[in-house]
């Protein structure tokens, strides 16, 4: 529940379609990074605001400006950050491309290996294919494509299930998602825009908040692609409880309930707490305990009732189970787990929030904070802090 003063201020600012907002993750030390978000849909119902939008550009906060604190409105001067274009690699068309089979081979044809040795003698600084491959965006894009197409990494990139959209909108968004899949996974790497590809991968990977902020801070496309490869290599088929290491689910169970095909999303409860949620078709019921009570109030997915889910081993809050109350919705049941409650390996060390100067953001000091119809939450402590 939002107060009238705050609700009125929000409505005046973003009720127009196409409005641009600045989203800034809380509890960063200087410098502060964020993204601009273009508002696509906005509605107000029963003193609650619902908004969907799409991220557009990265920015760095330069200066905080005086705002209307009574209305909960803050202003700032930001610098839009350009993404460095991936540099072209020397000699790639000379040394990397194999001659096609139907080219006639003659004694005067210089073969790729001979040409590589020739270039190495002419240019002492030439280090060879293996070294340049570490910094060639096309090679990195091709490697990620191969990883997503050949193993379990691509499960969360598959087509989305039913969402809170009209049939026409859902059909349009599903078609857009399929188009993106074809574009990014089937189009040859030398025809890809490395910047767009890198951000598409970053948007869809099931990462925690600290890891997302780490990627957001990178101003080099090559660095971003290499870091994404590292994260993909760390991903295992099993998903574990971050707190005790209990097995919870398999990456094959990751799927999308959003129109844009992302595996989960960012949601806010009436208490103002923000949650990064990963959606799963099924979990290991032996290690997950679900409260008996179900509620439809303040649900994030229209047509579904929610119940709180805990780890059966350490009883830490994992997230929620969503059960269908509208027969037209699919699937009948799914789970939405907090990304910060999950880890990809029992032994995997996640990014230390302190190394990113988050000052306690996404730490283990978490008590359950659940949505409630009266606008309160069960605790004032949360690593997923209020936006307001």
Q: Is 49 exposed, middle or buried (0-12, 13-18, 19+ CB in 10 A)?
A: middle
In the predicted structure, residue 33 carries a pLDDT above the cut 60:
yes
Taking the complete model, does pTM exceed 0.75, yes or no?
Answer: no
- The size of the chain, in residues, is 388
The C-alpha atoms of residue 184 and residue 227 are separated, in whole angstroms, by: 18
The predicted-structure confidence for 299-335, as pLDDT tens digits, reads as follows: 999 899 999 999 999 999 999 999 999 999 999 999 9
Dihedral sign, Cα of residue 288, residue 293, residue 297, residue 301: positive
Band (147; pLDDT cuts 50, 70, 90): confident
Apex 30 CA angle, 28 and 34, nearest 5: 60
Q: How do the domains of the chain map onto residue ranges?
A: 4-80, 137-232, 239-356
SS3 369: coil
Q: Is 247 exposed, middle or buried (0-12, 13-18, 19+ CB in 10 A)?
A: middle
Highest mean pLDDT among 64-68, 97-101, 204-208, 283-287: 283-287
Averaged pLDDT, 209-221: 84
Q: Tell me, what DSSP letter sits at residue 304?
A: E
The C-alpha atoms of residue 163 and residue 332 are separated, in whole angstroms, by: 13
| Least confident piece of the model among 5-14, 67-76, 94-103, 232-241 | 94-103
The answer as to CATH 2.170.150.20 being correct for domain 239-356 is yes
Apex 370 CA angle, 364 and 373, nearest 5: 160
The predicted-structure confidence for 54-97, as pLDDT tens digits, reads as follows: 778 889 888 888 766 665 567 788 888 887 766 665 554 444 44
């Amino acid at each position: 529940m939002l107060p009238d003063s705050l609700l009125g201020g929000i409505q005046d600012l973003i009720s127009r379609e196409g409005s641009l907002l600045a989203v800034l993750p809380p509890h960063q030390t200087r410098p502060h990074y964020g993204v601009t978000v273009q508002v696509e849909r906005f509605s107000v119902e029963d003193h609650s605001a619902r908004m969907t939008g799409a991220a557009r550009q990265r920015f760095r906060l330069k200066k905080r400006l005086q705002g209307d604190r009574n209305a909960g409105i803050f202003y700032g001067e930001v610098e839009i950050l350009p993404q460095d274009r991936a540099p072209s690699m020397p000699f790639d068309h000379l040394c990397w491309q194999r001659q096609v089979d139907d080219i006639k081979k003659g004694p005067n044809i210089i073969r790729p290996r001979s040409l590589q040795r020739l270039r190495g003698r002419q240019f002492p600084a030439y280090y060879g294919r293996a070294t340049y491959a570490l910094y060639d965006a096309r090679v990195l894009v091709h490697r990620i494509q191969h990883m997503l197409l050949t193993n379990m990494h691509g499960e969360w990139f598959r087509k989305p299930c039913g969402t809170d959209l009209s049939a026409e909108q859902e059909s349009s968004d599903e078609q857009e998602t399929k188009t993106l899949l074809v574009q990014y996974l089937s189009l040859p790497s030398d025809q890809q825009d490395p910047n767009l590809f890198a951000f598409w991968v970053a948007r869809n990977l099931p990462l925690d908040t600290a890891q997302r902020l780490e990627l957001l801070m990178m101003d080099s496309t090559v660095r971003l692609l290499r870091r994404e490869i590292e994260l993909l290599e760390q991903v295992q088929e099993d998903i574990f409880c971050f707190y005790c290491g209990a097995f919870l689910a398999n990456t094959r169970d990751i799927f999308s309930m959003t129109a844009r095909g992302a595996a989960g999303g960012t949601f806010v409860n009436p208490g103002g707490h923000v949650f990064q949620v990963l959606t799963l078709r099924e979990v290991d019921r032996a290690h997950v305990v679900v409260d008996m009570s179900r509620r439809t109030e303040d649900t994030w997915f229209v047509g579904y009732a929610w119940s709180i889910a805990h780890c059966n081993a350490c009883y830490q809050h994992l997230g929620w189970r969503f059960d269908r109350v509208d027969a037209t919705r699919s699937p009948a049941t799914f789970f939405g787990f907090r990304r910060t409650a999950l880890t990809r390996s029992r032994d995997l060390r996640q990014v230390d929030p302190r190394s990113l100067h988050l000052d306690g953001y996404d730490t283990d000091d978490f008590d359950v904070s659940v949505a409630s119809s009266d606008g309160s939450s069960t605790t004032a402590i949360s690593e997923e802090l209020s936006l307001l």
